[in-house]
């Protein structure tokens, strides 16, 4: 299809939000010099390519539109069983990411506190020499690797590097592993998915299903269909986010009390005798656990511990026990309290009383064996381990950082900056200079995701799915796939390496060849299969025939992925060892859902669907959307229940200061009846001082240094805060005015949240 130059300029201007083209400081769109003749000579040809988004755990399949090989727009792939043609705001930024003016275009070395460009060969030699020296001194324990990635293939490459080199301090940070990590505390494998074909009651502990989850677009569809069947959803949490607004019941409770609430509900099942008796043998230490719950979590005491009325706990317990296949659900977000892991264990115990009947596992072990190699995992190292080493007497010699801006995503940022400033050698693979990579001595920038090859795995829909991420364009700049660097290091540091692949492409194609030889499943060439087709497939009938692996590989790239709609699932029936694991699970500062005293509140820092890991500021279109429902732009706001605001004589839209033990920051008051009384809810995502847009405040800077005792994740909900008026003229109003504002606000909330 031919496109006129004028139409192309309009198209690229719209798709990239008006980015200006050039290479100077004022440029908004960065392109290699070789592209300019093509851009200005007049585009001619439209083409399409399938790839996948890896900006969140969802791994949605994308259709990318190109004009003369320039990617200009991304759409959802309608044949993907994951996103079913949908695409979110973050996915829409996939194109602008490629052209971002702040992309690092070559390796950088810090000289006299300034970064200077060097060649890849120079950069790789510096990194290799450092690792050889430290490993040669048998000081592998002084090397730390922090990698944030949602790709199992990338994670596995780092694990193989850890195994081959003897570097045990590897921290893999991703949604899936974080969400399932509490299961490792009780020697159990985690479930693969919620079985919505069986589940008939969902009790959600704080997860934002359709905003930040393993698969937001899939969950949006699945939960809608779940409620259409007449099943109920109860959400426990400090606020109703948009994804949780379409539910049947909200239990306002602080996250630090999730574990106490779960055990209070478990008390009802145990007292009524309405639990699966198989739990008595599948749970090690069942008798002592039962006694502990019965002695400590009777309704009146559970109410004291949680602030949730005893009647509500009893009613929820009765719903849970009457359901044939209930699910008590938590995800990564549960770790962001001081007792997060303990809370998760309590929720697991509640599920165990109903034998996890609403969960499922993929029956076919082939899919799980495609990548995972149990021998490749060195040790269970957490971010807490890293922080303890930074604060201890034993120095860290080398720090390798991939995909993680952990300084921005943590509390106690000034201490972290001072501590990593003392690390002799830091290498970052970030494609941008951010709050963490700015401390690096060497940066070897990674490719953009539209320049990479990968396979993204997912089982959250109850079927095995692999979405292809393939290069839509050749690399624009002198960047290098971080996976290729790590594989090269394996080869150069271990003369007889057992890792047989020379680069990421070889590794990915080897995994795809296993798919080809196995012969199960099908490409994403059609989204629906009849029951007759499914039945024929199960007895061995196949329509997908390929003359060779090369034919299969070409088709895999063409259709954007593979899945197994014919695969079977099985019940999730783990053996669980709770001995010594359940105890009083209350958090450090938690004293119930009510204000601790007059003008003392819990600061609840919540995550927005526009920002998963603190990178929203790179995308102007997302920053502009941030807060748009409140008409608050480029600054922080605080959502307050009207009851709480009335007690402080604060009006909607007034300016205040939120004061903690670390100082105070400005915010705009927003009335929100979907926030529990006694809580001040502020969003995470703004406040960068290095990366992208620098507007707003990062509330974690003012959050107390409280961390999950097991994972080391920072607490988002236990800081005690006060409110100070910014101006007496606009902060205090009469009671009649506040009542009127309350009515208007609640009406607006109903229109937003339904």
Within 8 A by CB and 6+ apart from 321, the residues are 268, 269, 272, 274, 275, 354
Taking the C-alpha atoms of residue 394 and residue 387, their distance in angstroms, rounded to an integer, is 12
pLDDT digits (tens, 9 = 90+) for 630-668: 899 999 999 999 999 988 999 999 999 999 999 999 999
Q: 177, 383 in Cβ contact below 8 A? A: no
pLDDT band at 693 (very low <50, low <70, confident <90, very high): confident
Q: Hey, what domains does the chain have and what are their CATH numbers?
A: 5-98 (2.20.25.90), 108-177+372-446+479-493 (3.40.50.740), 193-360 (3.40.228.10), 601-753 (2.40.40.20)
Indicate if the pLDDT at residue 40 is higher than 70: yes
Burial class (CB in 10 A: 0-12, 13-18, 19+), 120: middle
Q: Which strands make up the sheet holding 70-76, listed edge to edge?
A: 46-52, 61-67, 70-76
Structural Rg of the chain based on CA atoms: 26
Distance CA 184, CA 203 (A): 22
Instruction: Report the alpha-carbon distance of residue 537 to residue 695 in Å, rounded.
Output: 55
Label residues 647-665 b or e (16+ Cβ within 10 Å = b): bbebbbebebbbbbeeeeb
Q: How far apart are CA 470 and CA 484, in angstroms?
A: 15
What string of DSSP letters covers 313-373?
HHHHHHHHHH-SSEEEE--GGGGSSTTHHHHHHHHHHHHHTTTTTTEEEES-HHHHHTT--
pLDDT band at 496; cut points 50, 70, 90: confident
Q: Are strands 576-577 and 108-111 parallel, antiparallel or unpaired?
A: unpaired
Summarize pLDDT for 718-750 with one digit per residue, the tens. Answer: 999 999 987 644 433 334 433 433 443 343 333
For residues 341 and 347, give the distance between their C-alpha atoms in angstroms, rounded to a whole number. Answer: 10
Confidence (pLDDT) at 744: 36
Which residues are bridge partners to 145 per DSSP? 170, 400
Take residue 586 and report the two structure tokens written for it.
């209350």
- Cα–Cα dist 303/311, whole Å: 9
Q: What is the DSSP letter of 19?
A: P
pTM listed for this prediction: 0.90
Tokens found for residue 13 = 């201007």
| CA dihedral for 213, 214, 216, 221, sign (positive or negative) | negative
d(CA 629, CA 748): 10
Cβ atoms of 494 and 164 closer than 8 Å: yes
pLDDT digits (tens, 9 = 90+) for 220-248: 999 999 999 999 999 999 998 876 667 78
The helix or strand, by DSSP H or E, that contains position 486, with its residue range, turns out to be helix 482-493
pLDDT in tens, 544-592: 778 899 999 999 999 999 999 888 899 998 988 887 777 655 555 554 4
What is the sign, positive or negative, of the torsion defined by CA atoms of 194, 196, 200, 203? positive
Tens-place pLDDT, residues 383-402: 888 988 998 877 899 999 99
| pLDDT (mean) for 462-486 | 96
Residue 249 DSSP SS3: strand
Q: Which residues pair with 333 in a beta bridge?
A: none
Mean pLDDT estimate for the chain: 87
């Amino acid at each position: 299809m031919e496109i006129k130059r004028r139409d192309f300029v309009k198209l690229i201007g719209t798709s990239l939000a008006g980015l200006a083209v050039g290479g100077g400081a004022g440029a908004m769109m960065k392109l290699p010099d070789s592209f300019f003749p093509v851009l200005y000579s007049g585009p001619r040809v439209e083409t399409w390519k399938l790839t996948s988004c890896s900006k969140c755990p969802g791994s949605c399949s994308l259709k990318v539109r190109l004009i003369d090989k320039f990617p200009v727009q991304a759409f959802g792939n309608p044949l993907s069983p994951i996103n079913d043609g949908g695409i979110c705001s973050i996915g829409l930024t996939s194109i602008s990411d490629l052209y971002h003016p702040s992309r690092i275009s070559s390796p950088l070395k810090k000289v006299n506190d300034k970064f200077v460009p060097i060649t890849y060969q120079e950069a790789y030699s510096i990194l290799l020499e450092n690792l050889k020296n430290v490993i040669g001194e048998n000081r592998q324990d002084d090397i730390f690797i922090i990698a944030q990635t949602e790709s199992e293939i990338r994670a596995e490459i780092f694990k193989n590097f850890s195994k081959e080199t003897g570097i045990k301090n590897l921290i893999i940070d991703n949604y899936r592993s974080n969400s399932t990590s509490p299961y490792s505390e009780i020697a159990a494998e985690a479930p693969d998915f919620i079985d919505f074909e069986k589940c008939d009651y969902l009790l959600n502990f704080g997860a934002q299903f359709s905003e930040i989850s393993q698969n937001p677009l899939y969950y949006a569809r699945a939960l809608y269909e779940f409620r259409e069947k007449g099943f109920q959803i109860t959400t426990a949490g400090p606020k109703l986010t948009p994804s949780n607004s379409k539910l049947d019941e909200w239990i306002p409770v602080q996250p630090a009390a999730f574990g106490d609430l779960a055990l209070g509900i478990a008390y009802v099942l145990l007292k009524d005798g309405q639990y699966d008796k198989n739990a008595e043998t599948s749970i090690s230490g069942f008798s002592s656990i039962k006694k502990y719950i019965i002695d400590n979590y009777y309704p009146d005491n559970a109410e004291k511990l949680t602030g949730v009325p005893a009647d509500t706990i009893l009613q929820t317990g009765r719903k849970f026990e009457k359901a044939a296949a209930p699910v008590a659900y938590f995800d990564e977000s549960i770790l962001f309290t001081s007792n997060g892991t303990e809370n998760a264990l309590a929720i697991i115990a509640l599920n165990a009383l109903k034998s996890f009947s609403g969960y499922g596992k993929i029956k076919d072990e082939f899919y799980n064996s495609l990548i995972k190699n149990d021998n490749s995992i060195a040790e269970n190292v957490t971010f807490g381990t890293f922080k303890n080493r930074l604060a201890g007497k034993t120095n860290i010699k080398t720090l390798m950082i991939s995909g993680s801006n952990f300084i921005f995503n943590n509390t106690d940022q000034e201490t972290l900056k001072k501590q990593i400033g003392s690390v002799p050698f830091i290498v970052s693979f970030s494609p941008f200079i951010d709050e963490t990579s700015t401390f690096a001595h060497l940066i070897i920038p990674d490719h953009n995701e539209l320049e990479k090859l990968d396979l993204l795995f997912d089982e959250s829909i109850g079927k095995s799915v692999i979405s292809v991420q393939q290069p839509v364009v050749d690399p624009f700049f002198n960047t290098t796939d971080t996976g290729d660097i790590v594989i090269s290091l394996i080869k150069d540091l271990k003369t007889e390496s057992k890792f047989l692949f020379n680069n990421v492409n070889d590794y990915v194609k080897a995994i795809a060849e296993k798919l080809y030889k196995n012969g199960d499943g099908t490409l994403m060439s059609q989204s629906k299969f009849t029951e007759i087709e499914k039945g024929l497939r199960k007895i061995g009938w196949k329509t997908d025939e390929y003359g060779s692996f090369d034919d299969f590989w070409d088709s895999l790239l063409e259709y954007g992925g593979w899945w197994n709609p014919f695969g079977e699932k099985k019940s999730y029936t783990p053996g669980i060892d709770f001995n010594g694991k359940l105890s009083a699970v209350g958090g450090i500062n938690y004293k119930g859902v009510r204000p601790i005293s007059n003008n003392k509140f819990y600061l609840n820092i919540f995550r927005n669907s526009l920002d998963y890991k603190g990178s929203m500021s790179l995308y102007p279109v997302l920053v502009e959307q941030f807060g748009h429902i409140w008409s608050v732009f480029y600054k922080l706001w605080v959502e307050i229940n009207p009851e709480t605001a009335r007690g402080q004589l604060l009006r909607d839209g007034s300016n205040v200061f939120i004061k903690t033990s670390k100082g105070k920051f400005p915010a705009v008051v927003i009335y929100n009846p979907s926030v529990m009384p006694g809580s001040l809810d502020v969003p995470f995502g703004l406040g960068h001082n290095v990366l992208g847009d620098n507007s707003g405040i990062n509330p974690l800077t003012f959050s107390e240094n409280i961390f999950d005792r097991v994972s080391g994740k920072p607490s988002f909900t236990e800081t005690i805060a006060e409110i100070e008026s910014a101006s007496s003229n606009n902060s205090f109003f009469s009671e009649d005015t506040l009542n009127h504002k309350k009515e208007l606000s609640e009406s607006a909330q109903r229109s937003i949240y339904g």
